[in-house]
Chain A
Amino acid sequence: MSLPIELALVALFTPAAMAVILALVPPLRRTGRPAAWLSVLAASISLGASVWLFADQLGHPSRDLLESVRWLPHAGAAMANVGLRIDGISAGMTLVVTLVAFCVQVFSLDYMRSEPAADLGRYFTYHSFFIFSMLLLVLAPNLLQLFFGWELVGLTSYLLIGFYFKKPSAAKAAVKAFWVTKLADTGLLLALVVLYTHTGGFEWTSHPGAEVATIITLLLFVAVMGKSAQFPLHVWLPDAMEGPTPVSALLHAATMVAAGVYLIVRTNPLFAQAEFTREVMVWIGSFTAVFAAVIACVQTDIKKVLAYSTCSQLGYMVAALGAGSVMGGYFHLTTHAFFKALLFLAAGSVIHAVHSNEMSDMGGLWKRMKLTTIVFVIGSVSLAGIPGLAGFFSKDLILEGMLESGHTVPWLMLLGAAFLTAFYMGRVLFTAFFGELSEKAKHAHEGGWEMQLPLVLLAIPALGAGYFASRFAGMWHLEYELHLNLEAGAASGLAILGFAVAYVMYGRGAPVATPAILRPIAKLAASGVLDRFYEGLYRVLGLKLAGAVGFFDRYVVDGLMNLSGYLALTAGQKLRRLQSGNVRDYVFVVAFAIFALSAFGILR
């Protein structure tokens, strides 16, 4: 076993072991803070191994390691293997996952301080398990193992959204998230079946032919739409904000929801064979980017703004991958993980201080929370794609990819979304952090060092990750070149314009009112048309159809069986009279029968 494999095993199994220990030893788990610290320790070991692994990979950019063992036997050989695949792509993602997870866990030490000890232990157990599940997905050597991790992160998401399970809305949101993603995951399950049938394995490097590749990738894309919250399967993500804010930062912004995008990056050899699927991705991605950005403009809950923003940014990545810009999609995934986790944690810091998610309860926070404000500005500006920050480099790459592949309309849509992005982030900035100090913000103050350290740690890559783009590209065997041309300028210009418009509208202490042009959209968003559609579907399928099946089963199927039983009994009662016990009757019957039979014989 070589060093990278050992490092990956450490990164993978340290958190796993911790999760198992905490799950199986309740006295330890229920101590709360010691359990939390143990989990952080596991996360930091995992992070250390990942950093080493990443550095090692940087030294050998072309290395591609594969180590696997038989898992499912078939006819003396293996039907499926499990193992590790370490190349630039998985090493990079491993680092992103463990870094953000580490930051989030440290942040949670303070953020979740007031939770009862037993609940705190449970929270950190889930977190340790999440790192394992996510790395299982990231380091998977084939699609089957990727599916393992895929389902396990879905499970952790379900458990963490429902962390406050006594709250009915949280419990419902958790189940909703599980159902929607499970529905989508069936696509991945079927893709596995089709892939195996046509290639006899689960490798994404196989060439099953264009037609089959199209079917497989379409099925995969259904799963991606669920996990990465693409329209119309995005409905679970805003509700998922019921979970604790650090969870939203880790799972529902930086890593788990990006798993869909990672899946496409990983299985790109298959997607490259399927032009039709990529075209679908371009359009769905672009539409999601605009659609979610518009809705983000009318939200008043700071976490909901960020949630829709995540949807929108995932739309960018999906569109980029559809247009064939793997570097754009994957690089945006990386930078987004940093600045969006940063934004969520900063929002968490604010929520922790003002005890409310509503932006109307915030305002003027700059006066009380300098650090949080600074990092929130960094995150927002990076997200909006202002030149020089991480988000600029990756977004520029995506827009360029759209133009290069000749997708002008999607390109325009994404440009519009870039404007909206700057606008809604400006809206949050100006209403929550600047202007008059609000009533609830009067006693606001920064959290402890546990909350401040991760903000600083994440602000660094959110600022500067862009400058390493060409280095990463080399590691991923992708091409990267920065073009500073008019098209790039257009996006940056629009972003600046977005902030300017937001400043004009909210910059002078105006309340978080919805701009007049957006009111119809706000109304539409508030009514939750799509949610109601799904709810209707659930009602029809669940309460009506399943109810009908239940009734049918009870009264028709079972009724028929009972009826036949009843008929048999009645017939028995009737026939019983034949057996009267009277010998004369029997003799009569016998005589009659002899007569009848002989008559029959003679006549024949």
Chain B
Amino acid sequence: MNPSLLQSDHLLSLLLAVPALGAFVVLFMPRQWTRALRLTSVGFMLAEFGLSFSLLSADYSDGGYHFVEKVSWIETWGISYHLGVDGISLWLVFLTTLLTPIALFVSWTSIKTKVKEYALAFLMLELAMLGAFVSLDLFLFYVFWELMLVPMYFIIGVWGGAQRVYAAVKFFIYTMVGSLLMLVAILYLVGAYHQVAGHYSFDLLELRHLIIPRGTQIWLFLAFILAFAIKVPMFPFHTWLPDAHTQAPTGGSVILAAVMLKLGIYGFLRFAMPLFPLASQLIGPTIALFGIIGIIYGAWAAWVQKDAKKLVAYSSVSHMGFIALGLFAMTEHGVNGALLQMLNHGVSTGALFILVGVIYERRHTRLFSEFGGLAKVMPWYALFFVIVALSSIGLPGTNGFVGEFMILVGTFTSNAEVGFGPWGRVFTLFAATGVIFAAVYMLHAVLKIFWGPITHKANEALADLSFREVAALLPLMGLIFWIGLYPATFLDRSEDAVNHFVQDFTAKYDASKLDDSLRLWGVPPAAAEAVADNPAPGDAPSVVADAAGGAR
């Protein structure tokens, strides 16, 4: 690749172009060339992963956006092709570019039919997910957001299990309904912006400065979070997840759990909360409450599952509850922990789905009652599984502990007006019980699968992990320990953006709660100028303070 291109201002476009180009190449390859199709698609994905390392060349300590690209797309509606990456999206981009090739790689042999379409679906999925993570324009984001559904719908519906159509339709309708309300809210927001500013804009960085009346904020916020809460998924909108996971092929489950669920939380963090700070402060504790319900409820539901994949799916509900809790704590520790835990959940749950897929491929069943005593015949498999299970429990030394601990600290210290107020401590107490229940259901699973005598003849001659499976799992194992032992590598690059986000949110909330003009729509002139002068401002709180001052 041309080195000058890597240093160019179009790095993010290039990142989006690689999977698109891969899809284009795959499209014109003969479908019988299964091996070549697999190699090509994984090759493009690995190149993409390599390319994402050039994102590290920027200095993220200013907390702002980097590699920003802005090109007007549909000028009359104020829609632009606006990309940028900051410390918050940086690691999520990495998560995507790492997990996608792994997910495709683990399905190397289990997917035998329509290999070409399968590879195409994954390349498109990667493009859509990356696009959603780097979009700074609401229209562009929405396009990518919806684009994700299509390949995933086919991955579940075509290569899934026996009830794949039911699961795929459920997944599609569920997420679609949520997104449509968000679209309505976006359009409403843009219309209002036109009225006060005189021009249309879908640009997040411009819309952020809009002063929105309290009541309207609540409605718009609710419309946004419905879409995101379904994606996360938060209790009680989670029931599509166990069905989707059990029916999806292993690769689909991995991407779904590891990356797509993160987009829900990312949506809160990037769009819903900065756009509607008053509403999000008002409703945040309630969402956190649902997060806590999800933590305990998901753990209990996981405990009684008979199917290993369902157990992992419900454990996701529990873990995502933790992340939501940390996010709405609105303390630096809480949000940093939530962001780190997003990575952790991606790594650990991705690995768990791969591991469940391993025994499914060998026995074509995932029922606990069909296993037992596997530690004897599959020692490597047992070692990997136990490590990932311990990371999921949050054992110190693994990644799970760092995120969970920071979230607990963040929740406990969230006792100011912005945050949980008096509820922070109560929330911490309940969330901590989730740690115990995680140990209960995870070790229960380990006990059932690995320990005790071998009770089924078919298990006596199971092959241990193959080279390909080890190769797919090793990077994830490495990350489990890397994040667990030296989280600074990751936190150092992300925490400034997060801290700015928290300070910005707090400042904006403090300024606007006293502001009487909040009953009206408006754009503070100072902010409008700031936007005009600097199309990609760092999230400097001073701009916001000016904005609030100008409105008064």
Q: A interface vs B, CB < 8 Å? A: 23, 26, 70-75, 79, 118, 147-148, 151-152, 155, 158, 162, 165-166, 168, 171-172, 174-175, 178-179, 182-183, 186, 189-190, 192-194, 196-197, 542-543, 545-547, 549-550, 553, 557-558, 561, 565
Contact = CB atoms under 8 A, between A and B. Distances in A.
A171 B390 contact: no
Contact of A166 (B174, B390, B453): B453
B436 A547 contact: no
Contacts of A152: 395-397
Interface in B369-386: 373, 375-376, 379-380, 383
Contacts of A168: 451-453
B491 interface: yes
A107 B409 CA distance: 44
B245 interface: no
B224 interface: no
Interface stretch (B71-79, B123-131, B438-446): B438-446
Interface string B458-492: 00000000000000000000000000001110011
A549 B373 contact: no
Contacts of B406: 72
A73 B303 contact: no
Interface string B37-54: 000000000000000000
B432 A186 contact: yes
B408 A165 contact: no
A5 to B, nearest CB: 20
14 contacts: A73-B487, A74-B495, A75-B332, A75-B495, A172-B447, A174-B451, A179-B440, A182-B436, A182-B439, A189-B435, A197-B409, A542-B440, A543-B304, A545-B300
B488 A553 contact: no
Nearest to B432: A186
B301 A151 contact: no
A549 B499 contact: no
A179 B375 contact: no
A183 B383 CA distance: 24
Contacts of B492: 73
B443 A175 contact: yes
Contacts of A158: 443
Contacts of A179: 436, 439-440, 443
B116 interface: no
A547 B440 contact: no
A160 to B, nearest CB: 14
Contacts of A172: 447
A193 B304 contact: no
Nearest to A189: B432
Given A147-B396, A171-B447, A186-B432, A197 B495 contact: no
B322 to A, nearest CB: 13
A568 to B, nearest CB: 9
Contacts of A165: 375, 450-452
Contacts of A79: 333
A74 B495 CA distance: 8
A190 B434 CA distance: 13
B239 A72 contact: no
Contacts, number: 126
Contacts of A174: 451
Given A148-B397, A197-B409, A190 B300 contact: no
Contact of A553 (B239, B379, B380, B435): B239
Contacts of B373: 166
Please provide the 5 A-B residue pairs with the shortest distance between their CB atoms, ordered closest to farther: A558-B239, A171-B451, A546-B300, A148-B396, A549-B300
A23 B386 CA distance: 13
A158 B450 CA distance: 14
Contacts of A147: 396
Contact of A74 (B174, B333, B453): B333
B7 interface: no
Nearest to A187: B432
A174 B439 CA distance: 13
B396 A553 contact: no
A483 to B, nearest CB: 43
A557 B236 contact: yes
Contacts of A549: 297, 300-301, 304
B163 interface: no
B472 to A, nearest CB: 18
A556 to B, nearest CB: 9
Given A166-B453, A178-B443, A194 B412 contact: yes
A152 B305 CA distance: 28
A174 B428 CA distance: 28
Interface in B230-251: 235-236, 238-240
Given A72-B491, A75-B499, A197-B409, A546 B397 contact: no
B520 interface: no
B416 interface: no
A71 B173 CA distance: 45
A193 B488 contact: no
Contact of A547 (B236, B297, B304, B453): B304
Contacts of B235: 557
Interface string B206-250: 000000000000000000000000000001101110000000000
Contacts of B170: 565
Given A186-B433, A189-B405, A74 B412 contact: no
Contacts of B240: 561
Contacts of B375: 165
B413 interface: yes
Given A155-B390, A546-B300, A550-B301, A189 B439 contact: no
A186 B428 contact: no
A168 B450 CA distance: 11
A171 B448 CA distance: 10
B68 interface: no
A545 B412 CA distance: 28
A197 B436 contact: no
A219 to B, nearest CB: 10
Interface string B237-275: 011100000000000000000000000000000000000
Contacts of A74: 332-333, 336, 491, 495
B402 interface: yes
A553 B401 CA distance: 28
Nearest to A178: B443
